Chain A
Amino acid sequence: MKDAIVLSHISKRFELTGTAPTIKKLILSAGRVKRQYTEALKDINITVKNGESVSIVGTNGSGKSTLLRIICGVYKPTQGSIKTCGRLYTMLDLGSGFHPDLTGMENIYFNGAVLGLSKAEIEERLDNIVAFCGLGNYINEPVRTYSAGMLMRLGFAIATETAPDILLIDEVLAVGDAAFQEKCYARMAAIKAAGTSTIVFVTHDMHAATGFADRTVWIREGMVYMDGGSREVVNKYLQELDASPENLPEFRIRENKS
């Protein structure tokens, strides 16, 4: 089976800027400025096979979202190489890739355009998208008036109907109501069964991870802490959270020691 995503030795370092830089500051400091960095990801190696479903778990600030952004190409890794195969769809946030002033319907076109689809390709899928998200007449209201749940519905409908080769979802499904979440997971299961898309999703819902993902990757302090069968990894993860809830890692700047 071919590999959909190959991450080898990925590291990501962010420069801490503090306040907004200005040209004046640049001239005044003239190279004397001490640059501070944080290591968001360290030496990540993950391979995802075609058609596989992988969930990513970890505490806040562990680097899960940074990892997704590197996979989809919004961030460029500081070190390491990445290979992806096929067309991607990313749901990094509610309403990402939407324009707030356009209506839901217009946003289907806009979002499709952001994905690089043509008008004909979008229109082909329009009816299915509208039917799946179940927004009724709200589809003709501007997206800025939408609730979190409505944004998620529209985003997920576009994401799955456009049949991407790789689907990346950050923790956004949580805002859907129980019935719609059920619908989403059923849809993802159908995609998985058909084997058409590779799915990588970040979740804090351990039932989703164990029930749906073939494999779970636990990211801790910017590194792959565990990578294996979902049940095994989730059990370990929950054990650690239960064992030391007061020791949950705080947000801290991880500096490069080398």
Chain B
Amino acid sequence: MFKEFRNIINYRYLIYQLVLRDIKVRYKNSVLGFFWSLANPLIQVATITIVVKYIMRVDIPNYSAYLLAAFLPWQFVLNGLADSSEVLLHHRDLIKKVPFPREVLPISNVLSNLIHFLLALCILVVYLLVFWLFLHGSSLRPGFLWLPVLIILQTCLLMGIAFVICTINAFFDDTKFILNALLNIGFYLTPVMYPVELVYTKLPEAHRDWLFRLYMLSPFNTLMDAYKKLLMPPFEGSVAGNTVTSLPMDWGMFAVCAVICISVLFLGMDFFNKRKHLFAERL
């Protein structure tokens, strides 16, 4: 695997070129294109906020900020994985006719989605600044310093999964449909729209602790929750008649999550490596 890493580093200029091209296409070389690409998640956040707050009567103060803190990372998951199913197919000509390390393709796909995510995060930061400085008179939370760690872990996780998805899609054409279904379900299974504490209160009391740990074993759940906990202050609210209070950040589970994310990256790369020589024939 060491040889593969060195090879990828030798091709860093290709990664740069591929990412640059993706970004250019996404923003259509215009400032307006950039705003359009951000408008979509913001409209969704506004819609969900209205439905949850005013129709379903969930009372969590500053709900939209909590939602945004996990929604943007979730968009990164969604776009990063959905694009990865097609990335080999898009570069079919290149794969069939030019020898180069194939890892470059899923890597640059995740990286270009990462850049998009970072740009979107700027909006979140502005949003939160307005919130805390002007409305609450407090400063940004120190949890912000953890943001790079969260982003790196999430990128590792997505890259590992992207390696697996694009490999399977090279052999089975219907992978992307199954993936899209899973991602749709995933949005409701991970604590993006709702606080993780809600899951905690709904679990049977006798087995609550270990069941909750099991739930948090999913790196998606831990990561989405960590974004909320580290960027936002603890809250107290009520959901469907239950009082819900913030649980403290579980650093033990976070460490487990970090190990999982990095392991997924290596396992995914290994899976890809063992099958990459077949891509040129199968695509």
Contact = CB atoms under 8 A, between A and B. Distances in A.
Given A92-B97, A119-B13, A75 B280 contact: yes
A72 B96 CA distance: 11
Contact of A116 (B11, B95, B96): B11
B98 A74 contact: yes
A96 B93 contact: yes
A165 interface: no
A23, A109, A118 — most chain B CB neighbours (10 Å): A23
B13, B14, B178, B278 — most chain A CB neighbours (10 Å): B13
A23 B174 contact: yes
Interface size class of B (residues with CB under 8 A): 20 to 34
A22 B10 CA distance: 35
Interface string B11-23: 1011011000100
A186 interface: no
Contacts of A117: 13
Nearest to B11: A116
Nearest to B7: A116
Given A72-B99, A90-B98, A113 B172 contact: no
Given A21-B171, A109-B17, A113-B17, A97 B277 contact: no
Contacts of B175: 23
A72 B171 CA distance: 23
A249 interface: no
A21 B172 contact: yes
A96 B173 CA distance: 24
A112 B18 CA distance: 12
Nearest to B172: A23
Contacts of B94: 96-97, 114
A116 B100 contact: yes
B281 interface: yes
Contacts, number: 70
B164 to A, nearest CB: 14
A186 to B, nearest CB: 26
A258 B230 CA distance: 65
Interface of B, secondary structure class, is: helix
Contacts of A112: 13
A14 interface: yes
B97 A74 contact: yes
Nearest to B171: A21
A49 interface: no
Contacts of B171: 21
Contacts of B281: 14-15, 75
Contact of A113 (B14, B97, B178, B278): B14
A87 B18 CA distance: 22
Interface in B78-96: 93-96
Contacts of B10: 116
A22 B11 contact: no
Contacts of A14: 281
A103 B99 CA distance: 22
A44 B96 CA distance: 22
A93 B97 contact: yes
Contacts of B98: 74, 90, 92, 96-97, 114
Contacts of A15: 281
Contacts of B13: 112-113, 116-119
Contacts of A114: 14, 94, 98, 100
Contacts of A97: 94, 97-98
A23 B178 CA distance: 10
- Which 4 residue pairs of A and B lie closest in terms of their CB atoms, listed nearest first? A96-B97, A76-B277, A113-B14, A73-B99
Interface of B: 10-11, 13-14, 16-17, 21, 93-100, 171-175, 178, 277-278, 280-282
25 contacts: A14-B281, A17-B282, A20-B173, A23-B175, A23-B178, A69-B280, A72-B99, A75-B281, A76-B277, A76-B278, A90-B98, A92-B96, A93-B97, A97-B97, A102-B21, A109-B17, A110-B17, A112-B13, A113-B11, A113-B13, A113-B17, A114-B94, A116-B10, A117-B13, A118-B13
